[in-house]
Amino acid sequence: MTPARHFSPIAWLLLVFSLPSSILSPAALGAPIDLGQNLTYLRLHGRPDDVPALAATWGKPALIVDLRYPAADAAQYLIADLPPRPHPAPLFVLVGPATPSNALAALRQHAPALITLGLPAPGLTPDIALAVKPEDDRRAYEALDSGVPVESLLSEKLAKQRFDEAALINERAQGPGRTGTTMADAATATAKPSPTPAHPAADAPRTEPKDVVLQRAVQLHRTLLALGKLPRA
């Protein structure tokens, strides 16, 4: 592969702006993403724009570097003379089976507070190993590059228990102090069965993937912040 110093910036810009707008997300362009509370997220793709992106974010108080699926050897585009990160400043590195070990080792040399999170692989044991299906992890990773907002990949929607009016009437009919059927039981007994759609696959809404590995890194950062282990803005 052509080294970074011989890569024409004009050629790179022409390549970027020839791509469909649907995949020109900040992550796809190599731009850092602000996750709030002094936490920055950056993907290393193994291409020349990794160099300025890493230089711009390396001094951030807390940084997530995603090394799960670089398209090429990310180590060749790492900055050789990166200054050491201060020990309290955490560096969360997201890893998986496709993580280049040489790139991870290079980052570790400059970040004493480096923490790896992700899927274990032969020769790779993350500090925080997560039980995620590789295909689910890859789908969540690619969703951000395809334009899915990072907020959608991080948020969880809690299902609320359905309780209809008939169940409430049944519960009130029991009267105070009555034993027997509870409100939850009444809801189950009075609920009408949902009709089976003729084409369930077509009618069911497509759920957005959740990036479990990125979620865990953000949760860990928020926990350290709440415990007073990290400086606040």
Q: Is pLDDT of 169 > 70?
A: no
Give pLDDT tens digits for 116-168: 999 999 999 999 999 999 999 999 999 988 888 888 889 854 334 444 445 44
Please give the helix or strand (H or E) that residue 203 lies within, else none: helix 200-203
pLDDT value at position 31?
Answer: 85
Task: Report pTM.
Answer: 0.68
CATH topology of domain 21-155+210-226: 2-enoyl-CoA Hydratase; Chain A, domain 1 (3.90.226)
pLDDT value at position 81?
Answer: 82
Give the whole-angstrom CA distance, residue 87 versus residue 91: 10
Whole-angstrom Cα Rg for the chain: 24
